């Protein structure tokens, strides 16, 4: 989990949107309309950044130093307070529920960033399982995320928690079943 959140090992550099170079982007706006526009832009920036770097869990203290919240070229950064406000916005309905705080709400230290929601992941998983004709077979979770067969897939290297969450949605829908002990879970798709 820790590795995923701070990994920057990607092949290509992430291209920031032009707004990233707009200094007022980093200052909280008093005007309500401007503020909501600003927040939504931040939300999409965070999502695309995380998608590119395959970050599922955002640790705020680390993120403040990363290029995500800190534009060294422009010498502007988002303050901790403002970063929390951005993530709060993303957790809300307005922000499309793209984030979820981990742990008690009083200490907002890290959050899940749902650049793809668990339901959406479930759909991807299901599509792959269906496509490879593995319905009915039992797969371990480890195999799903780290197996060679899934290397080309998007969910390769996915965080275990996220996988579990998405499988959980499938279980609720009755499309899969999870069993097994800690560290060796298996899943069977119907």
Partner 1 sequence: MFFKQIDLTTALRPSLISGEELLFVQDGVGLYEGKYKIPDCQQGYAYLTSLRVYYVDEKEPRKNSVAFDLREVEKTDYQAGFLKSSPKITFHPKLPRDGHQSVRLADGRIAVEEGSSSFPGSRANSPRRYSSLSSPLPPSNATWICPICSFSNPVPSNFDPSNANASIPLPPCLACGIKPPLAVVLKAAVAAASKRILPQHPDEEFSGNANSTIDDPVQTETTITCPRCTFHNHVSLPACEICGAPLRSEQQHYPMANGGSKPRRAESPGPQLAELNLDDNAELASVKISFRAGGDKTFYDRLKGAMTQRKWLLQSAPSIPSPLSPSTTGDLDNETGLARTPITRPASTPVGIAGLERRGLEMRKNNEVVIGTAFEDLEALMASAKDIVALAEKFAIDSGRNAAETSSVFSESAAALGMVTTKDKLNSGSDNLYLSELSRNLAEYLTDDRTGVLRAEGGVMSLVDLWAVFNRSRNGVELVSPLDFHKAADLWGRLNLPVRLRRFKSGLLVVQRSDWNDDKTVQQFKTWLGQLQQIAPAEEVHWEWSLFGRGVSAQETAQRFGWSVGVAIEELEMAEDKGVLCREEGIEGLKFWSNFLVEVGSDAE
User: For binding to partner 1 (CB under 8 A), which residues are involved?
Assistant: 15, 17-19, 21-27, 29-31, 33-34, 37-38, 41, 44-45, 48, 73-76
Per residue in 65-83, is it b (16+ CB within 10 Å) or e — as a string? ebbbbebeeeebbbeeebb
Calculate the CA 56 to chain-centre distance.
3
Give whichever of 5 and 47 is closer to partner 1, judged by the CB atom. 47
> Closest approach of Cβ 52 to partner 1, in Å?
9
Burial of 181 (0-12, 13-18, 19+ CB in 10 A): exposed
Give whichever of 38 and 166 is closer to partner 1, judged by the CB atom. 38
Give whichever of 12 and 106 is closer to partner 1, judged by the CB atom. 12
Q: Please name every residue paired with 58 in a beta bridge, in sequence order, or none if there are none.
A: 111
> Closest approach of Cβ 35 to partner 1, in Å?
9
If we measure between CA atoms, which residue out of 65, 71, 50 comes closest to residue 7? 50
> Closest approach of Cβ 56 to partner 1, in Å?
19
> Closest approach of Cβ 30 to partner 1, in Å?
7
């Amino acid at each position: 989990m820790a590795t995923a959140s701070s990994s920057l090992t990607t092949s290509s550099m992430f291209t920031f949107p032009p707004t990233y170079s707009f200094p007022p982007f980093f200052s909280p706006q008093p005007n309500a309309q401007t503020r909501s526009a600003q927040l939504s832009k931040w939300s999409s920036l965070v999502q695309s950044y995380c998608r590119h770097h395959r970050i599922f869990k955002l640790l705020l203290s680390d993120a403040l130093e990363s290029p995500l919240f800190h534009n060294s070229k422009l010498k502007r950064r988002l303050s901790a307070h403002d970063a929390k406000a951005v993530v709060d916005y993303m957790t809300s309905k307005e922000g499309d529920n793209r984030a979820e705080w981990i742990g008690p709400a009083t200490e907002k230290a890290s959050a899940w960033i749902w650049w793809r929601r668990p339901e959406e992941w479930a759909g991807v998983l299901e599509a792959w399982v269906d496509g490879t004709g593995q319905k009915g077979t039992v797969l371990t979770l480890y195999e799903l995320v780290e197996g060679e067969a899934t290397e080309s897939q998007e969910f390769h290297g996915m965080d275990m928690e996220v996988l579990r969450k998405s499988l959980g949605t499938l279980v609720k829908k009755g499309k899969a079943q999870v069993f097994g002990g800690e560290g060796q879970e298996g899943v069977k798709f119907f």
